């Protein structure tokens, strides 16, 4: 059995979840682990001097739990998929050369060293400031973004996290998140299918 771990990182509203879901639909025996599922409870996330909750940093996330889930996939992808209610596509060959893919998506997946080392491929979706702000304003988050949150917390933290990532991470493939959904999917899925032939 071969295993491939693909990271779909990027800024908020870059299109990470959209691309990940489409990828999962086209990649056989694939599943998604999303960083957004590991936010700590709102009550323990600190607040800055402007009253903004400090969500856009690793401390706001249960990275230990996320790693545990990824390790559980690594140990037995087939069992992991079944535990998620996903159907494993047969035949799973007796030669042991089936490929299972894990798509890990999130805004800080490359900033966490122990996770970053696990990726076979790293994509980073980026969009311009104005589009990011517009897309974000059309979404309803839990808890909702307070007035001024984008410019007071989200954007400055993005710039900080991005610098930290670029200073430490190699082999990032930057994707233009303003491209059509289907073009992004074609680009990334072709890339990954190619990797299937070499893993
Ligand atoms: N390629 C695209 N072109 C136009 N709109 C897109 C594209 N990809 C995603 N969107 C839209 O942008 C918004 C954000 O997409 P998505 O939820 O996939 O982003 P995200 O990076 O996962 O965001 P979050 O920071 O909330 O996790 C959604 O309204 C989605 O429909
Ligand atoms: Mg998302």
The CATH number for 73's domain is 3.40.50.300
Which atom of ligand 1 sits closest to the CA of residue 184? 1
- Give me the domain span that covers residue 28: 2-196
Q: Which ligand is nearest to the CA of 136?
A: 1
Instruction: Say what the pLDDT of residue 92 is.
Output: 64
Is residue 165 over pLDDT 60?
Answer: yes
Instruction: Say what the pLDDT of residue 157 is.
Output: 98
Domain count, the chain: 1
d(CA 187, CA 191): 6
pTM: 0.96
Active site residue 36: yes
Please say whether the beta carbons of 65 and 38 come within 8 A.
Answer: yes
**pLDDT band at residue 90 using 50, 70 and 90 as cut-offs:** confident
Is residue 96 over pLDDT 60?
Answer: no
- Give the list of residues 6+ apart from residue 57 with CB closer than 8 angstroms, or none: 108, 157, 161
Instruction: Say what the pLDDT of residue 31 is.
Output: 97
As for ligand 1, residues whose beta carbon falls within 6 Å of it are 10, 12-18, 36, 107, 135, 177, 179-181, 184
């Amino acid at each position: 059995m071969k295993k491939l771990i693909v990271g779909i990182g990027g800024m908020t509203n870059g299109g990470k979840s959209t691309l990940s879901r489409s990828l999962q639909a086209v990649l056989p025996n694939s599943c998604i682990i999303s960083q957004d599922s590991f936010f700590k409870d709102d009550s323990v996330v600190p607040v800055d001097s402007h009253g903004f909750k400090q969500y856009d940093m690793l401390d706001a996330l249960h990275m230990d739990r996320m790693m545990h889930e990824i390790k559980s996939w690594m140990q037995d992808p087939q069992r992991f998929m079944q535990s998620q209610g996903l159907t494993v596509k047969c035949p799973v060959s007796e030669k042991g050369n089936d490929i299972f893919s894990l798509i890990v998506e999130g805004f800080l997946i490359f900033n966490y060293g122990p996770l970053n080392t696990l990726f076979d491929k790293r994509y980073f979706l980026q969009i311009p400031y104005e589009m990011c702000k517009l897309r974000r304003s059309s979404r309803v988050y839990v808890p909702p973004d307070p007035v001024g949150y984008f410019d007071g917390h989200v954007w400055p933290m993005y710039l900080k996290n991005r610098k930290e990532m670029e200073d430490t991470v190699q082999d990032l493939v930057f994707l233009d998140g303003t491209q059509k959904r289907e073009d992004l999917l074609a680009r990334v899925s072709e890339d990954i299918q190619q990797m299937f032939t070499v893993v």
